[in-house]
Structure 1
Amino acid sequence: MNKVEEDKKSAELRALNKKLYQEEQEKQIALKQKEAEDSFYQKLVDGFDVNVLVVGDSIAENGQGEKGRCTLLQNNLRKTYNNRVSFTNVSMGGNASYAGYVRTMTLNDDVGYDLAIICYGQNDGADGFSTNYESIIRAIRSKYPDCSIISILESSQREYTEKMTTIQSICELYSIPIADTIDAFNNLGKAYEDLSNDGVHPNDAGQEIYFETVKEVIDDNVAASTGKMAEADVINADVHKFDNFVWYDASSDFVRVDDTTFTISTNASGILGIDYTYESGDNKADIYVDGELFESPTVTFDYDSSQRHILVVSDDCTVKNEIKVVFTSKEQADGFKGMCFSWE
């Protein structure tokens, strides 16, 4: 082969390599575009990695064990679709739905969630439940606009209480599919005691039912190739009071003055929340706003263990200069995580 032929061959090879490179680039761009357009259910079928967020109370928190529904669901999805499926569970036992809003808003792990599973009701009162529950949905939609949502009706309710029908109404408006474990438990032909050891939390057999119920919802939406959630108007006008959020971390934003006292200089107004740990026995936190005693949340925790709680201190608090929090013991102060404001 002479030099002219060699040069021609080299040019043809370079052109071929360039074409192959361009085709590969176009393929990758198309894949990224497809991934961006897909919903959670479509990503499963198309082979993309998915991230699942679980927000709830102890019924949701207890789904993390080896035989828990989160583990069962994660393993099933991996096996069925051969995808990488990651679960993050920010559920907190003993807490009501306001905690779910705060946990969602404070989540800062640089993960784009494709599916959120909400599981609340057991610890909530009827008053304010609709607004708090909807605030979780709005928080998820705000932080993760492309995230699908599944809501669980908790089996512990045994029947369709006011709280459960509230969830159904909210989900109907937002077109959120429901995993109805009340119906699943009631129609299994077994006594409730066979599915729960304490009357509230599902045992291993109950976890299997939770898993199957959520899986059925996912299977149905995969079969329907359900797309991303559409925008929806709010049900409760008060939910706009949760549109904006600021978090003050106990370790980085507050100043620990002594063993029991924290202070922070700030200017804020709205719904004030606190995140701290109940220790066994009496718990008290004196909260001062601009030098005046504002609230003193007091709780008797009748357990030998401790438990983290997030609760509303006030629906209407205005701070001009400073918040001071004084706990009754160092042990209680050590469990202080922070405070937050939300507003319209």
Structure 2
Amino acid sequence: MSWRIKRKKRTFLIPAIFSLIILSFFVFLFSMDNGDTYKKNNQKTNSNIVFTDKENVYEKIKQKDIIRYLIIGDSIGQGDGAATEFKWFNQLSKKLETTNGVISFPYKITTPGSTVFNGWFDFQNKDFNRDMDLVFISFGQNDQNIMSENQFGAVYESLIRKVKSKYKNAEIYTIIESSIQAEKMPRIIKELSDYYGTTVIDTRIAFKESSKDYKTLSFDGTHPNNDGYTLYSNYIYNHITKRLSLNPVVNVDVNKRNLYSNSSIYQEAKLTSAFEELKEGAKSSKIRFNGSYLGLSINKNSSGGKFQIYIDGKFIKELSSYNKFPITHKVLIIDELSDTEHILEIRLPDSNKKIDLKGMITE
């Protein structure tokens, strides 16, 4: 009788121990980095892929390591206009995996309709707690009619320097968007890329070499469609493989003097939430600020309208808070101000419209 009891206890213990082993295994899996089942500190996984933090992106591709890349950009940067599987970064990741055996993870700091000032601000206020091997900067289309050439160059330069200061081993690819026709923004991007040694991706060349009309490669005349983003991914991948064959040293010297003298004022970005919503019936609102430049964080929606900006009593520009869907844009208003106190005034030509300003962006 006692033997049977012991046998029952043993029979009960075997599945219990087995269940404990299975549970421990799953706990181990979920404790891995980012839930992606890959180990850190140069330990190999079952697929023999290694994660390291020291090599540049090209060395990692050769070693079939995991790579992470960051996209800082606008709606083209985030692949708007294409189905999910055809967005340029998803196609790029698939190509790296199928051709090179490399697993890659894209991260994004992107806002539709934004300028490089928006990306510059958001980059400083977003931390993925991950090191990046490759960073894509994709702006220019929206900047053409909002920022001056000097403003665009100064902010773009500051963004390059901040990216390299944060991700010291990262390669930087500066994308010239396919929809840009005028040469002023591409010229600045090329100029800065030559100066800092970043890689220019002029996607307009890929579209031209395809011999296809832009309309057939575009979703709406601006954003590429599925076929258009395929050109993006192929063109970027070809640049990666070309660089790969050269065994390049990734080095951007952020200690060089600024190419754009005004770039030095774009050191920090502070959002001051000092505005209340300008509701129906309001005519104007004034507020004091200090700094060499001023930006606004604007909550846009279908109820928004036009508003005028005055600084120290002088008209600067007219903007709109209208957008078909809710979105927040950070817009550079002015730079080259004296580093003293100034007065910002917002005037509403149409007091029936509602203007929602999230705050000021200053030093």
Give the shorter-chain TM-score range.
Answer: 0.7 to 0.9
Instruction: Output the amino acid matched with 2:164.
Output: R
Identical positions, percent: 21
- How far 1:284 sits from its partner (Å)? 4.1
Listed one character per residue, the Cα deviations across residues 231-268 of structure 1 (whole Å, up to 9, x for unaligned) are 152311211111x2143375xxx69799899xxx9985
Distance change (3 Å), C-alpha of 1:294 and 1:43 = farther
- How far 1:40 sits from its partner (Å)? 1.7
Residues 42 and 226, structure 1, Cα contact 8 Å, conserved in 2: no
Instruction: Output the amino acid matched with 1:238.
Output: N
Distance change (3 Å), C-alpha of 1:108 and 1:37 = closer
- How far 1:119 sits from its partner (Å)? 1.1
Residues 38 and 228, structure 1, Cα contact 8 Å, conserved in 2: no
Q: In structure 2, which of residues 96, 102, 113 is the aligned counterpart of residue 77 of structure 1? A: 96
Bigger proportion of residues as strand: 1
Distance change (3 Å), C-alpha of 1:341 and 1:184 = same
Residues 301 and 325, structure 2, Cα contact 8 Å, conserved in 1: yes
Q: In structure 1, which of residues 164, 181, 189 is the aligned counterpart of residue 203 of structure 2? A: 181
Task: Trace 1:1-344 onto structure 2 (pairs within 5 A).
Answer: 35-62=52-79, 65-125=84-144, 126-128=148-150, 129-158=152-181, 161-231=183-253, 233=256, 234-242=258-266, 244-248=267-271, 250=273, 269-280=291-302, 281-284=304-307, 298-300=318-320, 303-315=323-335, 316=337, 332-333=355-356, 336-342=357-363
Q: CA RMSD in A?
A: 3.7
Bigger mean CA deviation after superposition, 187-196 or 125-134: 125-134
Structure 1: give runs of 5+ residues left out of the alignment. Answer: 1-27
- How far 1:138 sits from its partner (Å)? 1.5
Residues 297 and 329, structure 2, Cα contact 8 Å, conserved in 1: yes
Residues 279 and 355, structure 2, Cα contact 8 Å, conserved in 1: no
Bigger proportion of residues as helix: 1
Distance change (3 Å), C-alpha of 1:249 and 1:216 = farther
- How far 1:188 sits from its partner (Å)? 0.7
State the SS of the aligned residue for 2:130: coil
Instruction: Output the amino acid matched with 1:61.
Output: Q
Distance change (3 Å), C-alpha of 1:30 and 1:113 = closer
Q: Which runs of 4+ in 1 moved over 3 A?
A: 28-31, 34-37, 78-84, 254-261, 265-268, 283-288, 292-298, 300-304, 317-333, 336-339
Structure 2: give runs of 5+ residues left out of the alignment. Answer: 1-39, 44-50
- How far 1:52 sits from its partner (Å)? 1.0
- How far 1:106 sits from its partner (Å)? 1.5
Residues 171 and 177, structure 1, Cα contact 8 Å, conserved in 2: yes
Matching residue of 2:37: none
Equivalent pairs, count: 302
Rounded Cα–Cα distance in structure 1 between residues aligned with 2:314 and 2:226: 45
Rounded Cα–Cα distance in structure 2 between residues aligned with 1:54 and 1:74: 13
Residues 170 and 250, structure 2, Cα contact 8 Å, conserved in 1: yes
Rounded Cα–Cα distance in structure 2 between residues aligned with 1:90 and 1:29: 27
Residues 185 and 209, structure 1, Cα contact 8 Å, conserved in 2: yes
Listed one character per residue, the Cα deviations across residues 204-224 of structure 1 (whole Å, up to 9, x for unaligned) are 100100011111111112222
